Amino acid sequence: MCDQLRQDYLSCYGHSTLDTPNIDSLAKRGVLFTNAYCQAPECAPSRASFYSGRYLSSHGVMGYEDATRLDEQMISDYLEPLGYRTAVVGKSHSFKKESELRRLGVDMNTAYAKASQHGGFEPYEIHEGDLACSVAPNDHGYSNYLRSLGYDAANPWQSCANSSIAPNGEIHDGWKLRSARFPAAVSEEHSETAFITSRAIDFIAETEDRPWCLHLSYIKPHWPVIAPKPYHNLFGPSDVQPVVSNQIEIKHPHPVYQAFTQLEYSRTFCRNDVRETVIPVYMGLVKQIDDHLGRLFEVLEKRALVENTIIIFTSDHGDYLGDHGLGEKYLFHDASVKIPLIIAAPGVENDTTRGMKRDELVEAVDILPTLIQLTGADTCHERLEGHSLLPLLELKATAANWREFAVSELDYSDQGVRNRLGLDPYMCRAIMIKSHRWKYIYYWNLRPQLFDLHEDPNEFVDLGSMSEYKSICHMMDERLVSWQNSLKRRVGIAYDCVLEQGPDRDEKNGFIIGRW
């Protein structure tokens, strides 16, 4: 998993100047999904959906500081009973609330409790990026690593790996986008991407004798946008794709969209000098990940692990990079909500599906059910809200018998938007319902947004306030209600138990209701 990698910044997804041969090689031997969506264009909520196979409304993570509900079961809860060592190298940005666990009397020193602070994964090498120095109170392996190499600083993650160094030796703060034009103040081999890849290789070498599931979770190309030499200037302004925006977007803007355009990162990314400085470095960071994945794939080949290892390549969400007058993510334009998704599963792909592209609407919540079906773990009908992608991988399902719409959720109480709009923090809910033709965005207590993707694939013309589209909005509202009712809320009773319920079983148990 990459962090904040747009779907269209890979050559296998059509980028014209960013060549990613190693990721492309996965697509050549697996299946590439063109319509893959994250459950939220924001790190923590999106990741909680990947890890639990459930939507935001179920796992409860709506913002970057939210804990997952205590009884959510994560990838490890399904795979570890089968003997898979299930670990994370890199970022998880997913935790259960320690104070709540302690209130129940849980001993925080158990392996289970420790993993609960990292998406349920064994924290083989936790590296949360910026969070390592603030939110997550964990051991900072990467910072210690840099210190051991002589990078001497209170916070070498920030002062070295995520600051840049000018030709005159001056250090530039990586939080300022202008600093992106210089290379990182660490060498490439000591950068985050190199370190995380090496630690993944360590894990694989160490775990060869038993089944394993590794969440290799890169921080990049997530900000700070600082790349080590030579990736900082592999690309230049001529490699930057034309901005996707149109004057019509700001004519009668939706109030939430308008508020996001007014934020600092949006205003900044509307500047050509910013885009021409930052986007080439963003591309360099992607290129660096591709190179390191090549290194990892070589290890897998050498160790003869390619033929029994399922590889899934994806990202938690995209990045506007100035499109639609926006920076960062959060809203539901494709730049932000679409994700790359490639699955190479040995034993599944065959000559027919090898290198295939599939256009069905697939979601982050589908990953865990897919793993479960591939590994034979408990299918847990009472919890999982996604659908295994195996029927698509095996050509057993087609668009005709697949889901009709994808869903993504947003709580916009953060980012200053709530204050700009004067809203109560629990009113800031938005839900995308996206069919092949329509992208509909429901805002609680505000008008919806609607885009006709057939007529307007760039999502410029918001039809949400036009009376002639009322019936379309109503149809999409019905899908929204249907989706909300499909959520698996009864996690406190097993599927088999629900199946057995009824008067016959009650009578067997001694309850006879209503017999004369």
- Residue 163 binding a second copy, by CB under 8 A: no
- Residue 266 binding a second copy, by CB under 8 A: yes
Report the SS3 class of residue 371: helix
- Residue 328 binding a second copy, by CB under 8 A: yes
CA distance 95 to 53: 15
- Residue 514 binding a second copy, by CB under 8 A: yes
Among 5, 23, 31, 61, binds a second copy (CB under 8 A): 61
Of the chain, the end-to-end C-alpha distance in Å amounts to 63
**Closest separation between CB of residue 317 and a second copy, Å?**
14
99: Cβ contacts below 8 Å, ≥ 6 apart: none
- Residue 281 binding a second copy, by CB under 8 A: no
Q: Give, as ranges, the residues between 168 and 187 that touch a second copy (CB under 8 A).
A: 175-178
- Residue 261 binding a second copy, by CB under 8 A: no
- Residue 42 binding a second copy, by CB under 8 A: no
**Closest separation between CB of residue 443 and a second copy, Å?**
9
- Residue 166 binding a second copy, by CB under 8 A: no
**Closest separation between CB of residue 404 and a second copy, Å?**
14
Instruction: Answer whether 230's CB lies under 8 Å from 287's CB.
Output: no
**Closest separation between CB of residue 240 and a second copy, Å?**
16
Closest CA to 323 of 266, 382, 403, 257: 266
- Residue 68 binding a second copy, by CB under 8 A: yes
Among 8, 60, 299, 356, binds a second copy (CB under 8 A): 60
Residues 116-135: x/- map of binding to a second copy (CB under 8 A)?
Answer: --------------x--xx-
Pick the stretch among 32-40, 213-221, 267-275, 301-309 that binds a second copy (CB under 8 A): 267-275
Among 70, 82, 171, 296, binds a second copy (CB under 8 A): 70
- Residue 401 binding a second copy, by CB under 8 A: no
Q: What are phi and psi of 476, to 5 degrees?
A: -70, -35
Mapping DSSP onto H, E and C, the string for 434-461 reads ECCCEEEEEECCEEEEEEECCCCCCCCC
Closest CA to 369 of 83, 120, 78: 78
**Closest separation between CB of residue 454 and a second copy, Å?**
26
Closest CA to 279 of 239, 318, 332: 239
Q: Give, as ranges, the residues between 408 and 427 that touch a second copy (CB under 8 A).
A: 411, 413-416, 418-419, 425-426
Q: Give, as ranges, the residues between 466 and 495 that touch a second copy (CB under 8 A).
A: 474, 477-478, 480-482, 484-493, 495
CA distance 370 to 153: 43
**Closest separation between CB of residue 277 and a second copy, Å?**
9
H or E stretch including 44?
Answer: helix 43-52
CA distance 342 to 36: 10
CA distance 435 to 440: 8
Amino acid at 273: D
Alpha-carbon Rg for the chain, nearest whole angstrom, is: 23
Q: Give, as ranges, the residues between 87 and 116 that touch a second copy (CB under 8 A).
A: 96-97, 100-101, 103-107, 110, 112-113
- Residue 396 binding a second copy, by CB under 8 A: no
Task: Tell me, by CB under 8 A, how many residues bind a second copy.
Answer: 93
Closest CA to 315 of 96, 111, 105, 33: 33
